[in-house]
Structure 1
Amino acid sequence: MTDVPARPLDRAGRLLPGLALATGIAVVATVIGRFLPVVGAPVSGVVLGAVLGTVRRPGAVVRPGITTASKTVLQCAVVLLGAQLSLLQVARVGVASLPVMLGTLVVCFLAAWGIGRALGVVGNLRTLIGVGTGICGASAIAAVTPVIGALSVEVAYAVSTIFLFNVAAVVVFPVVGHALGMSQHAFGLFAGTAVNDTSSVVAAASTYGPGAADFAVVVKLVRTLMIIPVVVALAWLVGRRTEAAPTPDGAARPAWSLRRVFRLVPWFLVGFVLVAAVNSTGVIPGPAHPVIAAVAAFLITVALSAIGLSTDVAGFRRAGFRPLLLGGSLWIVVSLSSLGLQALTGST
């Protein structure tokens, strides 16, 4: 009698304890996020996970499930994020909004490279803070993490940094908007391009007015599309570095080809695009969108809870204040560039 049918059950049994632990933390984090929407469930999850992981390091029993939650569950969440987007939404934002969105993205990445080097923040942590600030916070960090192979402590630090300046934006941005006499449309574009997490975008824009909130959410969702070219570019860079590294036996690596480029595209990014394309056709009914969005948000919380569990908290102390200073600098740069590009394009 063969034991092949039992293997999937054995694997599920090994993964279940860690998945259950991460899910339990995510449930608590989701409740906290409901009462403190500015903080949000993902940040609560990574903090709770880090605290529990510090009190008691995860043992061998839960470690396989935690690893699966921090990788596979994270990738599945990114696929579901595609259901929040539609090609029609991109068109509705208007050509006038695109220069501001693309401009702030380019400025953010250049600043992340330059300021990061000046501060001595290099490697994956600089990349995570850059994409988190430039695109869409935890969602962008979630998409990039498996591509570049970031460590859990780097992910936790980046998420926490983005969260801190999201909270600052919720308080500061409405004051700035009123001081500058910005219209509802202009402030919605400002919040949508310079605030990262969706809940923080809604919080800042709703304070300014319902018109600002509606437009800011659409701009924020369109910004999420930038995940696609950024992840592909990072996958290509990682592949090039791997190619440049010497092989153990000294043999030459195969030359680049179109097939190799396509193979670098992560499966979950393909899923993200396919789900967005399906959503554009109207096949997914309207009432299903909030449900899918909630599931995606919960899966991200599960994944970040697992990342928190496996985080080396001592790594925060080793990282020092420089990554936080990088996050603050990028927040200011993106905010000023958004205002400046609106003035140049006449969006104000």
Structure 2
Amino acid sequence: MVARLVPGLALAAAGGGFALLLHATVPALSPTLVAILLGMLLAARGGAASSMRPGLRVASRQVLRVGVALLGLQLVLPEIVALGWPVLLVAAAVVVLGISGTLALARPLGVPPEQALLVACGFSICGAAAVGAVEGVRRSREEDVATVVSLVVVCGSAVMLALPLGAVALGFTPAAAGAWAGASIHEVGQVVVAGGLVGGLALQVAVAVKLARVLMLAPVLAVISYRSRRAAGVRPPLVPAFVVAFLACAVVGAALPAPVLGAATVVQSGALAMAMFALGCSLDVGTLRRTGAPLLILAAAATGLVALLGLPAALLVG
């Protein structure tokens, strides 16, 4: 059984490793985004051999959960608390209102509830990692997960480039621009790029605000798991094990020695890169081309909604 997983896991490790190497060469490139693009490129060229699929499936599910759990180590709680309660409330409001608003918009558009939930959480919390985490609770279709993650790449990258220009046009200070970026942009990597483009204090503030949104991942997943239990009439764990591990990492992260924390961060980046590559491989490019207008409109609307909800963070900091 284990031998069947080796080819696919090795392919995912190679793809994720290449993405990390490219990120080390060009730090502005997010390894998770590079990894899924590489996987999508492989899918476009005919996809992986059937012998690879069992291992790729494990990488896109179990390995992804390891990456999400270790993501908690990035949450430096004192720095997040130092933002002040008004900014933290805005970050929480972005997540809560972003999810509820996106789900409300999905109904008249006719987007299926499962796809709508993936968009709502991915765009409102932390991009691809949130999409994968919701899949871990809901057991969503791989095709839906890969499609929504690809929309995270497209929409998040667009706002990553547009938001710094908008902040300059509005006359925001670097700190205010960073707060807006952290409260509005989908992926952590995209937030880092946007903060770096603005310069000054923008990067530090952007990452702190973004991680405040990431911290909301655990309670959101707990709510989704509870609602899924009631709807399905089954009794899976109320809080999945990887969510408990995420919270534990957030608590102990600041107390870990720097070498241990550094090594764990490398494992976390590698696990997410592997998982994103595997998800990219699972995407049928024809399916992406056939992505209906309602889902595309919802993705664009969710991006605009989250950017609008994040604007008060800039006003508070500025």
| TM, length-normalised to structure 1 | 0.84
Shift of 1:34: 4.3
Deviations 1:84-141 (A, max 9, x none): 1133233212112112112222221122112111222122221111111111112212
Q: 1:265 aligns with which of 230, 234, 239?
A: 239
Say whether 1:276 aligns with 2:250.
yes
Gaps of 5+ in 1: 1-10, 244-252, 254-259
* CA distance in structure 2 between the partners assigned to 1:150 and 1:37 by the alignment: 32
* CA distance in structure 2 between the partners assigned to 1:208 and 1:137 by the alignment: 21
Deviations 1:227-278 (A, max 9, x none): 10111111112111211xxxxxxxxx7xxxxxx58x2211111111112111
Q: 1:96 aligns with which of 81, 86, 89?
A: 86
* Aligned CA distance change for structure 1 residues 53 and 177 (closer, same or farther; 3 Å): closer
* Aligned CA distance change for structure 1 residues 342 and 171 (closer, same or farther; 3 Å): closer
RMSD value over aligned CA atoms?
2.2
Instruction: Say whether the 8 Å CA contact 1:84–1:289 is kept in structure 2.
Output: no
Q: 2:283 aligns with which of 303, 307, 311?
A: 311
Instruction: Say whether the 8 Å CA contact 2:36–2:277 is kept in structure 1.
Output: yes
Q: 1:234 aligns with which of 224, 233, 236?
A: 224
SS of 1:93's equivalent? Answer: coil
Query: Comparing 313-322 with 187-196, which one deviates more in the overlay?
Result: 313-322
SS of 1:61's equivalent? Answer: helix
- Specify the alignment match of 1:323 in structure 2: 295
* Aligned CA distance change for structure 1 residues 347 and 214 (closer, same or farther; 3 Å): closer
* Aligned CA distance change for structure 1 residues 210 and 285 (closer, same or farther; 3 Å): farther
* CA distance in structure 1 between the partners assigned to 2:196 and 2:286 by the alignment: 38
Deviations 1:274-320 (A, max 9, x none): 1211124x1x1134434322321221111121222222333223432
Say whether 1:111 aligns with 2:101.
yes
- Specify the alignment match of 2:146 in structure 1: 156
* Aligned CA distance change for structure 1 residues 164 and 55 (closer, same or farther; 3 Å): closer
> 1:307 corresponds to which letter in structure 2?
L
Deviations 1:53-89 (A, max 9, x none): 3434544432221221111111111121111113323
> 1:326 corresponds to which letter in structure 2?
L
Q: For residues 38-77 of structure 1, what are the structure 2 equivalents within 5 Å? A: 39-77=29-67
- Specify the alignment match of 1:299 in structure 2: 271
Instruction: Say whether the 8 Å CA contact 1:37–1:199 is kept in structure 2.
Output: no
* CA distance in structure 1 between the partners assigned to 2:137 and 2:311 by the alignment: 32
* CA distance in structure 2 between the partners assigned to 1:176 and 1:159 by the alignment: 25
Instruction: Say whether the 8 Å CA contact 1:70–1:303 is kept in structure 2.
Output: yes
Identical aligned pairs, as a percentage?
A: 31
* Aligned CA distance change for structure 1 residues 137 and 36 (closer, same or farther; 3 Å): farther
> 2:222 corresponds to which letter in structure 1?
V
Q: How many pairs were matched up?
A: 318
> 1:272 corresponds to which letter in structure 2?
F
* CA distance in structure 1 between the partners assigned to 2:43 and 2:99 by the alignment: 32
> 2:244 corresponds to which letter in structure 1?
V
* Aligned CA distance change for structure 1 residues 342 and 178 (closer, same or farther; 3 Å): closer
Q: 2:308 aligns with which of 328, 336, 343?
A: 336
Say whether 1:26 aligns with 2:13.
no
> 1:266 corresponds to which letter in structure 2?
P
* Aligned CA distance change for structure 1 residues 44 and 153 (closer, same or farther; 3 Å): farther
In proportion to residue count, which structure has more helix?
A: 2
| TM, length-normalised to structure 2 | 0.91
List structure 1 segments (4+ residues) > 6 angstroms apart after TM superposition: none
Shift of 1:210: 2.3
Which structure is larger by alpha-carbon Rg, 1 or 2? 1
> 1:328 corresponds to which letter in structure 2?
A
